[in-house]
Every structure is written in structure tokens, then in C-alpha cells.
Structure 1
Amino acid sequence: MPHVVTQACCGDASCVFACPVNAIHPTPDEPDFGLAEMLYIDPVSCVDCGACVTACPVGAISAHDRLTAEQLPFVDINALFHETPRSYPAQAPVTPLVARTSTDRLRVAIVGSGPAALFAADELLKRPGVRVTVIDRLPTPHGLVRAGVAPDHPSTKTVEGLFRHIEEQPGFRYLLGVDVGVDVTHDELAAHHHAVVYATGASHDRRLGIAGEDLPGSTTATDFVAWYNGHPDHADRTFDLSGHRAVVIGNGNVALDVARVLATDPERLAGTDIADHALTALRASAVREIVLVGRRGAEHAAFTLPELVGLVERDDIDVEVHGDTLVVPAGTDVMTARKLDLLREAAARPRRPGARTIVFRFASSPQVVDADGDGRVAGVGLVRNDLVPDGGGVVRAVATRDVETVSAGLVLRSIGYRGVALPGLPFDAASATVPHASGRVDGMPGTYVAGWIKRGPSGFIGTNRSCAQETVDALVADANAGLLTEPAGASSEFRRLVGDRVAAAIDLRGWRAIDAAERAAGRTEGRPRRKIVRLDAMLEAASTSAASRRRRPRLVRR
């Protein structure tokens, strides 16, 4: 009874090190680890011990005879990966931690509270004497796990259980609702901590650079995702869902998420943690067709095989494919070939009455966003591309003169993310990252980076663990070498400084109060939570919940 990794895989490799026979690959020391869409269990090597099941933080591993119907394709997918023989030792090599050579107090500020930040905190707290303060401008932590994961992917969000464990470790502290660069400066952080780690992600979207891109009705998929996930910055946004068709430029996992949410019967979303305002708008939506536009062919699509499996297994969404024959080119790797097979099978299914449709339109690029008489989005001019291999064998999209206008009332671009410059830190505009060496910020001793602001927008939730470990190892090595400056101010002085400038900075107890209020509100409707989406309501939840326990609210007040 071999075990199987399924769609929910976060790629943090906990299962790799739990496996006693090294049956799970790629491992962090293998060159394809950072590129893999998920991890895969070799059905031949697996000894069915179940150690991987308990190690997985998102419940992505099951015995093959306990899979749901939607998960059954992953039996073949796990086996496919291991069809190519791999040479590896009997046990996956574990990278040793850089141990501290002193037990003296080491205070570290981490800016950001998403996966990279919390994994960095976890790595730091494994060492004796370390105290960590995680700072975020929002009143709620967990970054894209809270505000980016689609509401119909609840298994992916179970990594929050791991985050809760990290938060409860001795030496961990939150200061939420504090904007570094506005409320406090980098120099002030550095003056009160031995080191500062920035894990702020990549929060801006790449632009198309075409006419009409900024018309009303044309925006980013990131904004749409933040809106339906209840991000407080987007609580008052509105999206025109009155048209029959929406166009999404891009074909990565975020584009697929957006298309799937638009195509899903809202009643299937009613039991999720989707924001109330988004559920109301989707119930009134007239959108019945969502076109995903990719500039190259299907074999070059950026969406992952697990995400495609999750889509084509849906019984309420039809799939069409335009602009590609879906013939598997010679030399195609087995996972890409499986993608093409799945698309071909899904497109060949009979259409189902009443089902919304996702159209994959390949070999096309947006040329212009057209306006109607009121100056709003009316459609997108798409140019057909010829796919031409260059001298190095890389396929390039070459625009033809064949242009078609596709009518649409909503256009969302999803063509990648960019990091933004951080006050007081160097910034490489070309890569949109902070220049560094193994996480050490160039020219700034005691300052470090982790996550997307370090390596760019690549990898998955769990990829941030190995990224954070590299950064923390560098930080600890610097501490051991005496390269970190002793803070001029005490931690209590830093808290007073924040209290003088921020009306209500929320600590861990305050976040627990918000979390409990959301979960309690959700339970009455059979939902995991009902998200609080407004800042004042979040502060109120932190205060009233603490007061109901006859304790003062754990807020740092002016």
C-alpha cells in the first residue's frame, strides 16, 4: 500500500527527512528541488510506514487506497516522476544547522509575517537564547496563506497549524499593524536588535505595457485575489461581473485560481472562508466564460500539473482549448506530457448544460485593451503568435498580423510579481530583489533577507523553509563571529517607541482574539471562518475578545 503525495503538497520537505528509505523526491540537495511542482513518492521504494503522513504540515499524503476520486490521478503522477531512475543514498542528507557558540541573548526583528518570515522565526528559535519579534503592517499575519490561497483550496491553508506551533514557541513575539518605513525606520530596528531580517515578499504586479491597460475594468489578478480573500486594503473594491466573459492574461497558478473561482458555482464557495462581500458579488455574477491567454503553447504553460488535475476533475466546469493541437512534442518530459493529455481529455468531454467554461487560449498575446462608449473595458485585442525556436532551442512567441478582438467586461493580468524597494535597503531593479549573498544584504552588516524579496517570486509555500534556513545560518554564523552589533536600546524601549507612534499594535494574544472571533462566526454557518475585513473591526475584535476574558486587551497603546 504505497503512499501518495497529492495536490495539497507545499514542498517544505518535512516528509523527505521523515522517510526512512529516501523514497520521496526531489530532496532539497537535488538540483530539481527548487523547480519541482510538488514532491513525489516512489511506489517501489515506499515501505508503507506512514512516517511521511504525520510529518506533512498540510495533510497532503495518503495511502493509495484512501484517496478520494479527485486524488486518484496522483497515483500515476507520483509513479511517473520515478520512471526516470535516480541515484540517491539510502537516507536523504540533512543539512546541519549552524549552531550558536554562545547562549547570550540574541534579539532579531523579522519584517513580514508570511511563510518566509515564520520559517525564519522557526529556524532562529531552534537556537538557544534567541528572541524574535515579527512585525507586519497588517493586523493579521500569514501573508499569502491568508490572502493569496484560493478559498476552495482549504487543505493548503492547513499549514496555518504549523504557523501556530511556531507562534507558540518561547521567545516569539508579534507586533502587527506596524508599518516599517512609516511607523519605525530600519535604523530604529537595527538600534534595538542584533539583526533585522526582511521577508516582505513581492507585492507588485508586472505590467503589460499596452494601451488601455489602466481602463476601468482592467486590473490585476492579485487585486482580485486579495478582494475575494478579504484583504483589508481591498475590502471596498468592486469588480464588474455583469458581462458574459472575463479575460485573464497569463496562465500560471494564480491565473488558474482566478478563472476557477469565477467559474465556480457560488454555493460551492459558501462553505469556504471567502470574504462575504466577494460571495455576494459572485452570486450576482453574469460571467459564464473565462478566457486564459498564454503567449506560447500549452507545453510552456506556467500552471502546475497538480493545479490542472484539480481543475479538470471538477464536475461543474467545462474546458475548451484554442490555439494548440495538444500534440506532445518529441522529447517532452513526462509531467508536461501529462499536462497535455489532461487538457486534451478535458477539452474532448461533452459540454454540460449550465456549466461555466474556462477557455485556454494559447499562442496569443494582448495588443490593446479596448474601451466602450463610457470609457470602460469592452474587450481585448489578441494577436496570434507563431512559435519559433531560437538558436538555443528556446521557443519564442513571434507576433503575426492576425488580430482578433475578444469582448469582455473584465480583464485581469497575471503575468508575474515584482518586489518593491524597501526604505533604507539597496535594490536591484532588474531582478526586483534586494542584493545579497546567502541572505546577507550587500553593504549592510546585520541585515538579511528571506523569501521572494531575496530570490524573486519562485517556488511554493514550503520552498521558503530551505530559503529561510540559508539566511538564518548566515545570521547565526555572523553572530558566532562577533559581527553583529550589540543593540543600543532594550526590547522594552522598542515596545515603548512603537506604542508612542502606533495607536494599537497587536501582539500574539490580539491575533488569537481576531482568529477566534472569525472562527466562531464561521462555525454558525458551517464555514472554517468568516474573515473580518476592516481594520477597525479587527482592532475591536482584539479588544472585546480580550475584555470578555476579563483581561486588558493586549495592544500596545499610545
Structure 2
Amino acid sequence: MSFVILGHCCKDGSCLQVCPQNCIHPAPGEPEFELVEHLYIDPAACIDCSACVDACPAQAIKPDTALTETEQTYAEQSGVYFDLLATSRSPRITTPAIPTALGSGPIRVAIVGAGSAAMYTVRELLQRSSSVQITVFEQSSHFGGLLRTAVSPDQQGIRQMARLFDVPFADPRVETRFDTRVGVEVTMQSLLKRYDAVVLAHGATRPREIAAAATTDVHQAIDVLVAAYAAQTDGTGPVGLLAGPTAVIVGGGNVALDIATTIAKRRIITRAGAPISRVVIVARSSASQPSFTFSALHELSQLDVDISVDTGGTRIGVDSKDPLARLLSAFAREGSAPTRSARLSVELIFGQEVTALTTAEGRIRLDTDKVAAGGRVRLKTAAGNVVTADSVIMASGFTCEPLPGVALRSDGAVDNHHGRVVSPVSGEPIEGLYVVGWAKRGGRGGVGENRRCAAQTVDMIVADNG
């Protein structure tokens, strides 16, 4: 028996640190680490010790004998990954670098936000100093951020990562001030005066703006998901939210597929109580580099849905080594017109960027820029149909909430250099001000990515306060 890592792996790397066989790859520092969706366990080297199971914060590791039929694909992927690895190169054994400690003197750190990025930052600071004093400012009444409010109840492994907050936030060196907004109840200037370091960990939760007609039938993805998940948790039944049977989702990331999955499970219906019968997902990205993961599309494909893919002319091969490319190729080969044998048809359209929404004959009509051609066109399917919809759900990404004196980049993240926030005027680092998480990287990367992100930012704090 060996163990298998499933698609909701957070890539936090805790499993690598406890594996006695060094059989989990790729590790941070190996070339494939940034490219893979999840880590892999070598079935030939695994000795069934289960240390990785206990260490995994997302509960994403199972014995191969306990896999469901749907999960078998991850065991197959592990075998393929290590077969390819054996023919290309030997796995590199990486030795984790020993983190540099903070100075021996007391240091006071303020952290803005109490989501997963803040949690990893608190852990990193506590591990590097016995005299650090940390104050966390959180605008809501609880910690956890999107991990608490926007993760589907279906993803229990990810949701239970909230338990990682228990130990660091209970440490006597940490104080948490809930219901406190930086810029309102407390100013950024006062924080910079009172603390040796201020770390912005407030995330990127403001939806990207797209010009749209003022209408109640344009919804933000985060609002839709929160409403659907709250209803499921409360047991109140489906959310009657959308105007009619056709919905367009603008954006092609995991959030877009999560909404489609939620609709397929009949957790979102029309205001009249009828099911949604057609979902069109409009992705700006190319079919050769989709913004969603294999596991997100695989989960959707296991439901009662007909999936079709319009690649926008981009060729994707079934013989690709990438499991996501192979899955997309299978749907594209079946033709872009949905067969409509299932209760719900889901159409994935790549290479289209929505720039405006207008109403037409009582329905929503999308104006777009065709990325490949560079010219403005009406959004059309491969069959030549103009896409109209009863409702539109915006899932085109997030930007940071602006803070006084803090510059944002074009991708909506805080302008920074390796975690040091830079001045919007001089471009030089602002003394004592740092950033971590989505606020640092832009709205991308999973929960586990915050661990390495926090370590880099704390490295900057150590260097500046040595």
C-alpha cells in the first residue's frame, strides 16, 4: 500500500518535512514545484508510515486502498509523474534552509488582517523570536478570512485548515483586535509610529471592476458563493438568486468552476425556483494555459453536466503530459456544441476578455475584446451564436482594498519588492512597512503558498531589524 495526494493539496509543504523516504515531490526549489497543481508521493518508495497523513493541514492524503472511483485518477497521475521523472532526471534532495532569527531585543509587529497569510506570518515570527510582540488588527469579528467564509462545505479538508490558527493566535505574545479597520479606527501612520514593523495581510477581496449596466442581475462571485455556502450550512435549501435558466460566468479561474459546480449541485437556482440549464464560462486565458486546475474541472465533470470547450482556435493535444490539457482536449474533441443530455450544459469559451455588459431586450448581452485578434467583437460561440444571458456572475479576480499611502500595481496587488512595500512617489521601500499573501502576489496562489510567502517577508523584516 502507498499513499496518494489528492487535488485539494495546499502545497504548504508540511508533508515533505516528515517523510523519512524523501518520496514526496516536487519540493520547493525543484523546477516543477511552481508548475504542478499538487504534490506527488512516489508509490515505489512510499513505506506506508502515514507520517504525511498526520502532517497534511488540508487532509489531502489517503491510502491508495481507500480511494473512491473519482479519486483513482490521482493515483494514476502519481505513477505517470514518477515514471516521467525517472526518465528525465533524478529527484533532487533538497535541504531546507535554516531561517535567520530576529535580533535578541524586543520587536513589536502589527499585522493587518487575520486570514491565512497573517496566520503563517504569525507562526514564522514566533518561531524566529522569543521576545517578539505581535498585534493583529482584523476588521471582522473572527479570524480565517476567505478560508472561513468562501470555501465550499464540500472542501472539508481545506476548511479544517482553520485549526492552524489555534496555536499561534493563542500564544501570549499575540494580541488580536477584532472589529478594527485600519484607515478608520486606527490610522496607518499611527501603526508605523508605534510598531517596528507593519505587515499588510489584508488580502485581495475587492472584485475587479468591469464596466457594466446598473442591474440587479449582475452578481459578484464572492457574494454568490457566500450565499450558497451559508444556505447549505444552515440547511435552508437552494438559493433562488438568478433571473433565468442561462447564466454567464465572466472569468476562467477556480472560482468560476466552483460556481458552475455549485449550480450543478442545485445549490443555486432561479428566483422562480427553477433549475439553471445553461452556464457559459468566458475565460480571458488561453486554452493552452487555463487559470483553473485539473481538480476543479475533474470535480465538475463527475456531476450530471455536459461540458463543451471552445478553445478559440488554440490547439491542445490529447497526448500532452499535462492531465488538465488531456481532459480539456477530450471535451474539445467532442465538439463545442453541448449535447444537452444532462440537466446542465457548461460551455467553456477561451480567449475572450469581457470589457462591458449591456442590456438588450430585457436580457444581459456581453461586449468583448477577442484577445487573439485584438479587435472588439460580440462574444460568439463556435457555432456563431451571440451569448446572451439572464444573469451574469463576475468571477474575474480580485484586487486589494486601497490604503492611504500604499500604491497598488496594475494587477491589484500592493507595490512591493520581495515583501517590502515601496513608495508610490520614490519607488523606494517604505521603512517598516511590509506585505504578504494575496496583497503581495495579486489574487493568486492557494492557502499553502502563504507559508513560503510569509517566510520571504519575514526574511525582509529580519534583515531590516537585525
TM-score computed with the length of structure 2 as normaliser: 0.85
Change (3 A) 1:402 1:411: closer
Change (3 A) 1:382 1:75: farther
Distance 1:384 1:458 in 2: 23
Kept in 1: contact 2:245–2:270 (CA 8 A): no
Query: Structure 2 residue aligned with 1:477, among 450, 454, 463?
Result: 463
Distance 2:386 2:341 in 1: 27
Distance 1:138 1:424 in 2: 23
> Which residue type is aligned with residue 465 of structure 1?
R
Kept in 2: contact 1:326–1:343 (CA 8 A): no
Kept in 1: contact 2:137–2:176 (CA 8 A): yes
> 1:298 is paired with a residue of what secondary structure?
coil
User: Alpha-carbon deviation of 1:368?
Assistant: 5.1
User: Alpha-carbon deviation of 1:467?
Assistant: 0.3
> 1:444 is paired with a residue of what secondary structure?
strand
5 Å-filtered alignment, 1:118-517, equals 118-126=119-127, 127-209=129-211, 212-229=212-229, 240-266=241-267, 284-295=273-284, 298-314=287-303, 316-322=304-310, 328-329=316-317, 332-341=320-329, 343=331, 355-366=343-354, 369-372=357-360, 378-381=363-366, 387=372, 403=380, 404-425=385-406, 427-442=407-422, 443-480=429-466
> Which residue type is aligned with residue 180 of structure 2?
V
User: Alpha-carbon deviation of 1:384?
Assistant: 9.5
Change (3 A) 1:336 1:317: closer
Kept in 1: contact 2:12–2:447 (CA 8 A): yes
Alignment correspondent of 1:13: 13
Question: CA RMSD, aligned part only?
Answer: 3.2
Distance 2:75 2:314 in 1: 23
> Which residue type is aligned with residue 418 of structure 2?
S
Deviations 1:373-423 (A, max 9, x none): 6xx6x1334669585xxxxxxxx7766678433332210122222223322
Identity of aligned residues (%): 32
> Which residue type is aligned with residue 326 of structure 2?
R
Kept in 2: contact 1:109–1:133 (CA 8 A): yes
Distance 2:293 2:281 in 1: 15
Q: Which has the larger radius of gyration?
A: 1
> 1:446 is paired with a residue of what secondary structure?
strand
Moved more, 432-441 or 5-14: 432-441
Change (3 A) 1:26 1:398: farther
User: Alpha-carbon deviation of 1:281?
Assistant: 7.7
Q: How many residues align?
A: 444
> Which residue type is aligned with residue 371 of structure 1?
T
Change (3 A) 1:242 1:436: closer
Kept in 2: contact 1:319–1:347 (CA 8 A): no
User: Alpha-carbon deviation of 1:297?
Assistant: 5.0
Distance 2:248 2:31 in 1: 36
User: Alpha-carbon deviation of 1:240?
Assistant: 4.2
User: When you count helix as a share of all residues, which structure comes out higher?
Assistant: 1
Kept in 2: contact 1:295–1:397 (CA 8 A): no
Change (3 A) 1:318 1:330: closer
Alignment correspondent of 2:46: 46
User: Alpha-carbon deviation of 1:190?
Assistant: 2.7
Deviations 1:70-109 (A, max 9, x none): 211111122333324344344x32121111341x332211
User: Alpha-carbon deviation of 1:41?
Assistant: 1.9
Kept in 1: contact 2:263–2:269 (CA 8 A): no
Distance 2:60 2:332 in 1: 27
User: Alpha-carbon deviation of 1:290?
Assistant: 1.4
> 1:73 is paired with a residue of what secondary structure?
helix
Change (3 A) 1:200 1:4: same
User: Alpha-carbon deviation of 1:429?
Assistant: 3.5
> Which residue type is aligned with residue 136 of structure 1?
E
Distance 1:46 1:346 in 2: 38
Alignment correspondent of 1:494: none
Deviations 1:337-391 (A, max 9, x none): 33325536998998656x3332223454547534256xx6x1334669585xxxx
> 1:53 is paired with a residue of what secondary structure?
helix
Change (3 A) 1:342 1:186: same
Change (3 A) 1:399 1:297: farther
User: Alpha-carbon deviation of 1:282?
Assistant: 8.0
> Which residue type is aligned with residue 49 of structure 2?
C
> Which residue type is aligned with residue 379 of structure 1?
I
Distance 1:151 1:283 in 2: 25
Alignment correspondent of 1:509: none
> Which residue type is aligned with residue 163 of structure 1?
F
> Which residue type is aligned with residue 40 of structure 1?
Y
Distance 1:74 1:379 in 2: 39
> Which residue type is aligned with residue 221 of structure 1?
A
Kept in 2: contact 1:312–1:346 (CA 8 A): no
Alignment correspondent of 1:88: 91
> Which residue type is aligned with residue 170 of structure 2?
E
Distance 1:372 1:280 in 2: 22
Change (3 A) 1:28 1:346: farther
Kept in 2: contact 1:312–1:342 (CA 8 A): no
